[in-house]
Amino acid sequence: MRLVFLGPPGAGKGTIAERIHAVLSIPHISTGDLFRKAIHDETYLGKQVKEILDSGHLVPDELTTEMVKERLAEKDAEKGFILDGYPRTLPQADALNKFGHPERVVNFMIPEEIIITRLSGRRVCRKCHATYNIKTSPPGADGICDVCGGELYMREDDAPEKITKRLHVYADLTQPLIEYYRKSGLLMDFDTNRPVDILVPELATILKNDLG
């Protein structure tokens, strides 16, 4: 199953991908996570992209596509994948068609005011990347991951002014992909303004019936 999760930041792509990938037996590949790992590990790529991520802008297409192409060539992606955060521009979508043509693109739909609440309250585990929300789904103990005991932090780009920037970038560069994929018949609209516990089994059932 070759899937793309498309939607604005804060729509729940990462949270749902993290929960659903095991059910579908395919890896969850998040370009944001790959970049953040490279930054954390201080690799050459990480040094190239750190300032871009902190600013809320997009990493250049070629650099991003090269990273995704390499990741999709790994063994665990042979049977399919969930791409979360890629493609984000029309050139990236064209490139993906050449090395990992998607079978279904899930369009995560969510009102903008909900996005702002979600992102400003988001906290992420440094170790296992589990996500929490201090208002809607807080951890048991302040600042500590329930899953692995790791330290929770607020992403640099979840600061209010960066959220606004990212939403503009989404509207300008990524939103056109909705029409792009609708025209090719691959798009599936999915309302994500509902509890995750409902969304995960619902989406898994739809995808299994559709493509399984």
What amino acid positions are annotated as catalytic residues?
13, 88, 122, 155, 166
Helices 160-169, 112-121: inter-axial angle, 10-degree rounding: 140
DSSP state, 137? Answer: B
Asked whether position 2 contacts ligand AMP by CB under 6 A, the answer is no
The one segment of 18-26, 48-56, 105-113, 184-192 that binds ligand AMP by CB under 6 A: 48-56
Asked whether position 59 contacts ligand AMP by CB under 6 A, the answer is yes
Of residues 59 and 82, the one with the C-beta less far from ligand AMP: 59
Residue bearing tokens 């739909």: 109
Of residues 179 and 210, the one with the C-beta less far from ligand AMP: 179
Q: Which residue is nearest to ligand AMP (CB)?
A: 32
Asked whether position 52 contacts ligand AMP by CB under 6 A, the answer is yes
Compute the chain's Rg from CA coordinates.
16
Mark residues 8-47: x for contact with ligand AMP by CB under 6 A, - for none.
-x---------------------xx--x------------
- Which position among 53, 187, 203, 207 is part of the footprint of ligand AMP (CB under 6 A)? 53
Burial classification of residue 181, based on how many CB atoms lie within 10 Å of its CB (0-12 exposed, 13-18 middle, 19 or more buried): buried
**Residue 64 in 3-state DSSP?**
helix
The one segment of 18-26, 81-89, 105-113, 183-191 that binds ligand AMP by CB under 6 A: 81-89
The one segment of 39-47, 51-59, 70-78, 111-119 that binds ligand AMP by CB under 6 A: 51-59
Q: What is the DSSP string of 3-54?
A: EEEE--TTSSHHHHHHHHHHHHT--EEEHHHHHHHHHHTT-HHHHHHHHHHH
Residue 127 in tokens: 């170790």
d(CA 28, CA 25): 10
**Number of residues in the chain:** 212
To ligand AMP, the closest distance from the beta carbon of 81 in angstroms equals 14
Q: Which residues of this chain interact with ligand AMP, rule CB under 6 A?
A: 9, 31-32, 35, 52-53, 56-59, 64, 85-88, 92, 157, 166
